[in-house]
Amino acid sequence: MKNPKIIFKWEGKGFVFQDVANALKKSGIKNGDTLMVHADLGRFGKLGEITDKKEFANVFIDAFLKVIGKEGTLIVPTFTYSFCKNETYDPDNTASTVGLFTEELRKRKDAFRSIHPIFSVAAIGKRAKELTSNLSKNSFGKGSIYDKLQKIKNSKYVIFGVDYFSCTQIHYVEEMLEVPYRYVKKFEGKIRNKNKMYDDQYEYYVRDLDKETNPDFDKIEKHLLNKGFLKKIPFGSAFVSVVKISDICREAKKMFKKYPIFFLKEKNTLEFKNLPFYIGVLDSPDNKKLPLTLPFALEFNKDLDLIVQRYSKESEEILESAYKKGSSASTPLGQGSYSISRADDVLKYIIKICGSNLKNYSFLEPGCGYGYLLHRLKLLGAKKVIGCDPGTDAIKGSKEFGINIVNDFYSPGLFKEKFDVIFSFGLLEHVKNPLEILQSFKENLKEKGKIFAAVPNCQNKLKLGDASILGPEHWSFFTPETFKNILLKSGLSGVEVKLGAKDAMIYGWGEISNKNIKKKKELNQGSTEKLFYSFSKKVKNSLPLLQKRIEKLEKENKTLGLYGGGLQIIGLLNHKLEPRFFNGDTVIHGKYFPGYSNPIENPINLIKKKVDELWIMATDYDKEITDYLKKEINIPESTKIFSFKNYLENLK
């Protein structure tokens, strides 16, 4: 006689025994199945007609038993963690700590319970005795209940009402694969079995709490669902999920091999204890008493919809001191092989916005460095040009070009007058809050004044997983989309964003407007957070393999050259070898990267004094550099070229 009472109510309907049995059948449970069930009976709906715990739980247990029939077996976890709490474990009496369903099943006369003072299970059905006996003393590994279950053809995992994918079977996979974030810990204690009391020792495959080890089974649940291995059906206000244990084990192994932290929560920061601190090449290996490395953390800022460096007072103070000493992140505009063409590129856009006749325009450039762009604008007939910069270059440029450059960091109070255009080149990525500084520009602008700003385009490198963009000198890492959003958020109207030559820079501009700031719904947001996570994942995956590559070179006593940067990447690897650096930009030849004794060389030197392996680190110019080396320089065939770009693209 099955219990006819209403077990729970949901949306005006009363659910009875038969509704539970029907839901179980619908979820794919069949006669003869062996089930491991994790249940939360309080999630399906509100109180029905049953108020007695035993009666309540047993309606559900009976429904399971009816569906699996006499050939089936129903197993539940009855974990007690007794040895972890210095308590005696008694299989007949120690209560399960994992819910009413499991505790009431354990108490049934037809139930068997395993002797495990941490992770015991209880079972009813054809194989109940066999599956709860002779289990190993480890927790999830060989000989455990989970090992036995994965060998049974019709064994299934059932998540019954639990609102997350509570799947201990994954720990079996972790233990078999010996994952780096768990280890075996032994626990000792007393077991009382019937009239016998004895000391024993059991193993628990625990998380390494010194590492980032918070479990996250959402990803494996989604994977199993997407691949069609997991069936999830709604029942009352909760769900019933069923998956074959063999499918869990196979897919979990596959996903772990592909991505070793698949079962762990993604960290929302990408952190490095020692990221090379580099804001400019040096005349000598001496770093002007600045640190060679700084701790660095990258994160996604939801308010700004931007990938940013997490604020650190230490970095801020060091950067301020470095800027005052005259360091600049890149070759100043107007100097070197590439920077004149870069300046031409910027001027092309400023003229596009203002028109070719600049005589009615006054310009202010915060962070103007040497003042080369202001100088060029003056030559083009601009009415007035003024800049500000905290570095020593400001004084030099001011004298050389005869323009007014205030030797200080920008603040709106620095200038009493108002300008027609405020522009910046490579500034906004160096300030803590680009939105705030854009908004402060308005105080120095005339009515309908224009703002033009250029920032490095990080999109391609973020997509690729190229960690060379990371550096303590950058607080923000823009893509065309996020840069446009910042300009819109600052309240500018007529905002446009274009990519500069070789997509290296993003140029954006707009006009100050009295209209309200654009509402969020008008902004195109959402993809930046995904980009942050995919970038973090790729960087984490790429570094260990590069580490192996450099260790192999060291073992074989081979020489390494890095072409087009690479300081950030090499700095993140443990290495003893001294790499040589090469660059096509003549202005930096003979200069030094901080912390390295080899100067930056002309690539022509690769012929006279070859290297065994040459890493092409500039992912933006990979093909051009390779062609140049092979066709124009004719570097020796014995020099093995390693393309960092190809490596990242092919990384699984």
Partner 1 sequence: MEKFNKIIVDIFKLAPDRIKDSLRFEEIPDWDSMNFLLFIAEIENQFEVSFNMDEVIKAKSLGDIKNMLRSRDIKL
Could you list the residues that contact partner 1 (CB under 8 A)? 8, 10, 40-43, 45-47, 51-53, 56-57, 99-101, 103, 163, 236-238
Nearer to partner 1, 45 or 276 (CB): 45
Nearer to partner 1, 8 or 592 (CB): 8
Question: Smallest gap, in angstroms, from Cβ of residue 97 to partner 1?
Answer: 10
Question: Smallest gap, in angstroms, from Cβ of residue 100 to partner 1?
Answer: 4
8-10: strand order across its sheet: 13-15, 8-10, 46-47
The Cα 142–Cα 125 span in angstroms is 23
Nearer to partner 1, 84 or 523 (CB): 84
Nearer to partner 1, 95 or 604 (CB): 95
The 3 state secondary structure assigned to 125-171 is ECCHHHHHCCCCCCCCCCCCHHHHHHHCCCEEEEEECCCCCCCCHHH
Q: What residues contact 315, with CB distance under 8 A and at least 6 apart? A: 294, 295, 296, 309, 472
∠ CA 317-319-325, rounded to 5°? 110
Nearer to partner 1, 42 or 295 (CB): 42
The Cα 251–Cα 257 span in angstroms is 10
Question: Smallest gap, in angstroms, from Cβ of residue 177 to partner 1?
Answer: 30
DSSP classification of residue 620: G
Question: Smallest gap, in angstroms, from Cβ of residue 343 to partner 1?
Answer: 56
Nearer to partner 1, 52 or 637 (CB): 52
Q: What residues contact 74, with CB distance under 8 A and at least 6 apart? A: 35, 37, 61, 64, 65, 68, 105, 123, 124, 125, 128
> And the tokens for 38?
């994790």
Question: Smallest gap, in angstroms, from Cβ of residue 223 to partner 1?
Answer: 24
Q: What residues contact 400, with CB distance under 8 A and at least 6 apart? A: 370
Nearer to partner 1, 162 or 275 (CB): 162
Question: Smallest gap, in angstroms, from Cβ of residue 53 to partner 1?
Answer: 5
Question: Smallest gap, in angstroms, from Cβ of residue 96 to partner 1?
Answer: 10
Question: Smallest gap, in angstroms, from Cβ of residue 161 to partner 1?
Answer: 8
Nearer to partner 1, 240 or 492 (CB): 240
- CA gyration radius for the chain? 33
Residue 365 bridge partners (DSSP):
387
Q: Strand pairing of 640-643 and 613-616?
A: parallel
Question: Smallest gap, in angstroms, from Cβ of residue 460 to partner 1?
Answer: 41
The Cα 512–Cα 532 span in angstroms is 31
Task: Answer whether 403's CB lies under 8 Å from 374's CB.
Answer: yes
Note the Cα 33 to chain centre separation in Å.
40
Nearer to partner 1, 99 or 465 (CB): 99
Nearer to partner 1, 99 or 117 (CB): 99
Question: Smallest gap, in angstroms, from Cβ of residue 61 to partner 1?
Answer: 13
Note the Cα 632 to chain centre separation in Å.
40
